[in-house]
Structure 1
Amino acid sequence: MQFQTANGVLTCTPTRLIVAGWTGRDRAIVDHHIEELAAIGVPPPSDVPLFYQCSPPLLTQDREIQALGPDTSGEAEPFLLKQDGELWLGLASDHTDRALETHSVAASKQICAKPVADTLWRFREVEPHLDHLRLKSWIVEDGRRVLYQDGSLTSILPLRQLQRGAGMTGATAMLCGTLPAIGGVRSSSAFHMALVDPILGHKIEWSYKTSVLQVVS
């Protein structure tokens, strides 16, 4: 994979991919969400936060992904990359199969590609004002773009804490959790996301489309 950085192009091939879940900073809200999902059949996590192990080739910078069936959706997340001892921050979508999620959260994450924006920021340069960063996403409904997620990183556990909890070593990539969906989780054929740094005036953006494969049985 190739990423644009302030110091030029960074080429890397992560050998480990982690998708962090249940990373909300307010534990009461997390526990309430676990109870809501349990009521519709989603198994509760064995720990909070939980670090799901996924296959690194799921990471993609393609502008279109394919998904099996109509019940998948994206969610914007901070993206950490550890490469040659340096920690980088970017943006990714934890595209997930919501139907499969009721049987296995881990399987629902492993079955879908994880789109990643092609820009990275050096983590130590944004860490002092990390909570000021804003995460946003949009979906397409009835032919128009609709705001889907919007909030600051204060809603997510400190990324340095997640990095340590996941034991990121070597060439490791991690998606760090997300924000609630405005109006509820739902599918869309197109997903646009942004990570905004209002202090340094920088922004990472990425868009992708999802084509649905027919389920044959």
Structure 2
Amino acid sequence: MRFTLGDTPLDLELSHLVIAGWTGRDRDAIQHHIEELAEIGVSPPSATPLFYRVSAALLTTASEIQVVGNASSGEVEPLIVQHGERRWLGLGSDHTDRALEAHSVAMSKQVCAKPCATELWAWEDLSDRLEEIRLESWIEEDGAWLPYQQGTLAAILPLADLIEGASLSLLAGEGAVAMMCGTFGAMGGVRPAARFRMAMTDPGTGRQISHEYVTTALPEVA
């Protein structure tokens, strides 16, 4: 994959992709997310957090992805990318098949591409203020963009804890690894949308990373 650090290209061949789930720091917020997913038939997790392993090839910077049917949706998440001792922070969407999620969360994570922004930020530039980083997402409904998610990394378990829990540094010794680190509740409830827009802002510098993608639905053939 080709990422960028400002104007500098960064080419990495990913060996592993981890999806961290149920990572909210506020137990009430986790329970709220569990309940909103239960409304669409998703069973509660066996433990929190959980670290799902999916194909590294799912991570993409494309502006269009294909899915089967009309029951998938995106989730804005911080993205950690690491290669050896070098680490970066990026922006991604854990796009998930909600129909399949009702049967198996792990399988639902595997069947959808995971769009991410091309730009990464150097970890050492942010390590002293990670919890101030703000994430937002929007979905398009009836031709209008509506706020869908928002929050800061302070709402998610410390990224250092997630890195340790996923053994990310160990995996990074085998090649580049990426991990999506969890999300926030959806305003108005989790629901599918064909267009998804997301942004990550560093209030300390005013920098922002953004990405937008469209989902093309393939027919469900029985």
Q: Same fold (TM over 0.5)?
A: yes
DSSP-derived class of the 1:15 partner? strand
Residue 18 of structure 2 is aligned to residue 13 of structure 1: no
Alpha-carbon distance in structure 1 between the residues aligned to 2:177 and 2:46 = 23
Alpha-carbon distance in structure 1 between the residues aligned to 2:177 and 2:70 = 30
DSSP-derived class of the 1:34 partner? helix
DSSP-derived class of the 1:209 partner? strand
DSSP-derived class of the 1:128 partner? coil
DSSP-derived class of the 1:127 partner? coil
Q: Shift of the alpha carbon at 1:144?
A: 1.0
One-letter amino acid of the structure 1 residue matched with residue 207 of structure 2: H
Residue 222 of structure 2 is aligned to residue 214 of structure 1: no
Q: Say if 1:211 and 1:12 are closer, same or farther in 2 by CA, change over 3 A.
A: same
Alpha-carbon distance in structure 1 between the residues aligned to 2:54 and 2:5 = 25
1:31-61 Cα deviation digits (max 9, x unpaired): 4543554565422222210000100000111
Alpha-carbon distance in structure 1 between the residues aligned to 2:61 and 2:137 = 17
Match of 2:201 in 1: 196
Alpha-carbon distance in structure 2 between the residues aligned to 1:94 and 1:189 = 14
One-letter amino acid of the structure 1 residue matched with residue 216 of structure 2: S
Q: Check conservation: 2:33, 2:185, Cα contact below 8 A.
A: no
1:144-183 Cα deviation digits (max 9, x unpaired): 1111111111111111111111001322110000011111
Structure 1 unpaired stretches of 5+: none
DSSP-derived class of the 1:145 partner? strand
Match of 1:101 in 2: 101
Q: How many residues align?
A: 217
Q: Shift of the alpha carbon at 1:188?
A: 1.1
Residue 210 of structure 2 is aligned to residue 205 of structure 1: yes
1:6-41 Cα deviation digits (max 9, x unpaired): 472110011011000000001233245435545654
Superposition RMSD in Å: 1.4
Alpha-carbon distance in structure 2 between the residues aligned to 1:109 and 1:213 = 17
The percent identity for this pair of structures is: 51
DSSP-derived class of the 2:191 partner? coil
DSSP-derived class of the 1:3 partner? strand
Q: Say if 1:84 and 1:9 are closer, same or farther in 2 by CA, change over 3 A.
A: farther
TM-score (norm 1): 0.95
Superposed, 1:11-160 pairs within 5 Å as 11-34=11-34, 37-38=37-38, 41-160=41-160
Structure 2 unpaired stretches of 5+: none
Alpha-carbon distance in structure 1 between the residues aligned to 2:160 and 2:71 = 32
Q: Judge which range, 161-170 or 26-35, deviates more.
A: 26-35
Alpha-carbon distance in structure 2 between the residues aligned to 1:41 and 1:138 = 24
